[in-house]
């Protein structure tokens, strides 16, 4: 049984209404308005999510800057400690050399 052109035109003309009736009896215009409202809500929520992500990235950037400053402080303290130990080592070598020289000189006079 083939459909006539009139039948196909009738179906096309009323298909939207029939589908709207199946979706809780809402007319197409109300359904379209609801879809638009939902799209607006989704877009607003996406905008809010983007803002939250930006804030999170900004906070992470600040935290990374703080960590970098902390590493710089630790590096500076380590350099100071190395300089101090180098000086102490030089003093120790000088003391040992002087002591050894005095001991050798004392042994020669005896």
Q: Strand, helix or coil at 43? A: helix
Over the range 40-76, which residues count as b (16 or more CB within 10 Å of their CB) and which as e? eeeeeeeeeeeeeeeeeeeeeeeeeeeeeeeeeeeee
Least confident of 5-19, 51-65, 90-104: 5-19
**Residues 37-47: tens digit of each pLDDT:** 999 999 999 99
Which sequence spans correspond to the domains of the chain? 13-109
pTM of the model: 0.47
Structure tokens at 41: 């809500």
**Residues 17-76: tens digit of each pLDDT:** 777 666 655 666 777 888 899 999 999 999 999 999 999 999 999 999 999 999 999 999
Closest-CA residue to 77 (of 92, 65, 69, 88): 69
11, pLDDT greater than 60:
yes
Between 86 and 55, the more confident residue is 55
Cβ burial, residue 36 (10 Å; 0-12/13-18/19+):
exposed
């Amino acid at each position: 049984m083939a459909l006539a052109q009139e039948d196909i035109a009738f179906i096309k003309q009323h298909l939207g209404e029939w589908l709207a009736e199946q979706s809780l009896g809402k007319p197409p215009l109300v359904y379209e308005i609801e879809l638009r409202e939902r799209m607006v809500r989704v877009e607003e929520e996406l905008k809010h999510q983007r803002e939250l992500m930006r804030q999170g990235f900004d906070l992470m950037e600040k935290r990374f800057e703080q960590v970098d400053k902390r590493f710089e402080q630790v590096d500076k303290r380590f350099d100071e400690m190395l300089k101090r130990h180098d000086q102490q080592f030089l003093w120790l070598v000088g003391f040992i050399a002087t002591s050894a020289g005095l001991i050798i000189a004392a042994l020669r006079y005896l």
